[in-house]
């Protein structure tokens, strides 16, 4: 049976209750600590290289299988599209009492404190013995109590999906952006190598996996594996073994709907897409975030918002090769005029509260970079390109529909 993972924000009350009941049982029977131990022991082998996405797909599916075999045969891990909460993450529906709760010590009036122990949501009062006795902790990373620093927006993640054709390029643009931002934003256990203690870990990694599957299935990258791996592997291949799962290869997790990968996503099914020909909108479900009408990059973002050069660089799959977008001769005077209009629009919007700018997420701190054994130069490169795109969007007349 192929189960469907849904956006947690779209679950019915009954589905949400069933999800919480299963996670509670997983916690009480020690499974959260079990997966935390796996993640903790292999931390430096499953981050900072191209094993990141295959391993986390396998482990997240393992968590799901344990739940299905022991508690609910229809259980499916929901995903949290955290990019939609980019501007004010602390206000996310997911971080309310009805869902997974908020900041450590949060009360009905909001705010932080209380030593970081979660005090609302279904995980309140959770405590662990692994890796040491402690309560489940969250410490939001915002500058004011109870706030979270901005996360990458849907436009940023859409650009990541479109720009890269190699896993070795795609992977760090996931690891160092939305993945790192959410871990660091929630703080507490989520900033430790035993992060699976928090159910938020699996919601986040289901979303990360969804991004990877979309990149694989919609953009012709189904079998694309390359880049450095663990244990001294210089160029990872589909036939290399997964970390922790003895005898299982990376190939076994690459295509959803086969083997143990018996799941799909609500907006990205498992229909065959590998034979699709190149084009600007291969197999697109146009109701999915990141795709609008022909020539659109994201809802409300049209080719006219960006210069041809910017469109080709940051949203290459949205360029219709048969159109004049980004192609043909360009009058220099016209280009100069358009640039001036964009700058004027930016200065005007900068002081208008009804036209918000996409906020720039903070860079990953050195403590996180060192713990994950990331290459700082690569982290800085990814961050610089993200900031550049945000500034380009903010200087255009584009207004994100996700505010």
* Complete DSSP assignment for 35-97: HHHHHHHTHHHHSSSTTHHHHHHHHHHHHHHHHHHHT-TT----B--GGGG-S-GGG-GGGST
In a 3-state reduction of DSSP, which class is residue 296?
A: strand
In a domain, 387, yes or no: no
Report angle CA 211, 163, 238 to the nearest 5 degrees. 60
Q: What is the mean pLDDT of the chain?
A: 86
Q: How confident is the model at residue 318 (pLDDT cuts 50, 70, 90)?
A: confident
- What letter would DSSP give residue 316? G
Q: Percentage of residues in the chain with pLDDT exceeding 70?
A: 80
Residue 86 lies in a domain: yes
Residues for the chain: how many in total? 403
Averaged pLDDT for residues 54-73:
98
> Per the structure, how many domains does the chain have?
1
Range 259-268 average pLDDT: 95
Question: What is this structure's pTM?
Answer: 0.87
At 397 the pLDDT is 82
CATH number for 227: 1.10.1280.10
Residue 39 pLDDT greater than 60, yes or no: yes
- Residue 99, exposed/middle/buried by CB under 10 A (0-12, 13-18, 19+)? buried
Distance CA 131, CA 112 (A): 24
Whether the pLDDT of residue 282 is over 60: the answer is no
Q: What is the pLDDT of residues 213-229, one digit of tens each?
A: 999 999 999 999 999 99
d(CA 180, CA 26): 25
345 pLDDT more than 70: no
Residue environment code for 111-150, b if the CB has 16+ CB neighbours within 10 A, otherwise e: ebeeebbbbbbbbeebebeeeeebbbbbbbbbeeebbbbb
Decide if pLDDT at 80 tops 60.
yes
Q: Is residue 165 part of a domain?
A: yes
Residue 379 lies in a domain: no
Q: How confident is the model at residue 209 (pLDDT cuts 50, 70, 90)?
A: very high
Can you give the pLDDT at residue 304?
A: 67
More confident residue, 109 or 220: 220
- Within-domain flag for 363: no
Answer yes or no: is 70 within a domain: yes
pLDDT band at 269 (very low <50, low <70, confident <90, very high): confident
Over residues 174-197, the pLDDT tens digits come to 999 999 999 999 999 999 999 999
pLDDT band, residue 258 (cuts 50/70/90): very high
Asked if the structure places residue 112 within a domain, the reply is: no
Q: Which domain holds residue 73?
A: 3-96+144-265
In the predicted model, what is the mean pLDDT of residues 271-276? 43
**Residue 372 resides in a domain:** no
Q: State the pLDDT at residue 309.
A: 92
Q: Which one-letter DSSP state was computed for residue 116?
A: G
Q: Check residues 285 and 83 and name the one with the higher pLDDT.
A: 83
DSSP 363-394: PPPHHHHHHHT--HHHHHHHHHHHHHHHHHHH
């Amino acid at each position: 049976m192929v189960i469907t993972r849904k956006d947690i924000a779209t679950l019915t009350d009954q589905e949400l209750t069933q999800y919480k009941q299963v996670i509670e049982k997983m916690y009480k029977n020690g499974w959260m600590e079990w997966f935390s131990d796996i993640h903790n022991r292999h931390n430096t082998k499953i981050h900072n290289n191209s094993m990141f996405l295959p391993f986390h797909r396998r482990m997240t599916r393992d968590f799901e299988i344990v739940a299905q075999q022991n508690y609910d045969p229809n259980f499916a891990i929901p995903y949290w599209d955290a990019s939609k909460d980019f501007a004010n993450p602390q206000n996310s529906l997911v971080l309310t009492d009805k869902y997974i709760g908020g900041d450590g010590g949060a009360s009905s009036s909001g705010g932080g404190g209380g030593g970081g122990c979660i005090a609302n949501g279904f995980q309140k009062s959770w405590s662990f013995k692994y890796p040491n006795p402690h309560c489940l902790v969250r410490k939001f990373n915002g500058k004011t109590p109870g706030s979270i620093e901005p996360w990458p927006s849907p436009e940023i993640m859409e650009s990541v999906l479109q720009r890269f054709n190699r896993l070795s390029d795609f992977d760090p643009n996931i690891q160092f952006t939305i993945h790192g931002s959410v871990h660091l934003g929630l703080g507490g256990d989520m900033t430790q190598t035993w992060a699976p203690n928090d159910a938020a870990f699996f919601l986040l990694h289901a979303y990360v996996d969804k991004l990877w599957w979309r990149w694989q299935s919609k953009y012709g990258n189904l079998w694309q594996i390359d880049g450095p791996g663990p244990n001294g592997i210089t160029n990872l291949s589909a036939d290399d073994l997964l970390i922790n799962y003895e005898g299982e290869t990376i190939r076994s997790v690459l295509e959803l709907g086969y083997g143990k990968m018996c799941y799909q996503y609500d907006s990205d099914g498992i229909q065959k897409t590998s034979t699709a020909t190149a084009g600007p909108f291969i197999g697109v479900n146009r109701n999915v975030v990141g795709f609008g009408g022909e020539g659109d990059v994201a809802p409300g973002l049209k080719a006219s918002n960006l210069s041809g050069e910017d469109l080709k660089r940051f949203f290459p799959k949205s360029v219709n090769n048969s159109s004049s977008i980004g192609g043909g001769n360009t009058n220099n005077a016209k280009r100069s005029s358009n640039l001036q209009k964009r700058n004027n629009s930016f200065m005007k919007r900068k002081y208008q509260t009804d036209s918000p700018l996409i906020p720039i997420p903070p860079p990953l701190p050195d403590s996180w970079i060192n713990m994950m054994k990331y290459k700082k130069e690569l982290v800085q490169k990814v961050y610089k390109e993200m900031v550049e795109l945000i500034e380009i969007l903010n200087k255009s007349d584009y207004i994100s529909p996700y505010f």
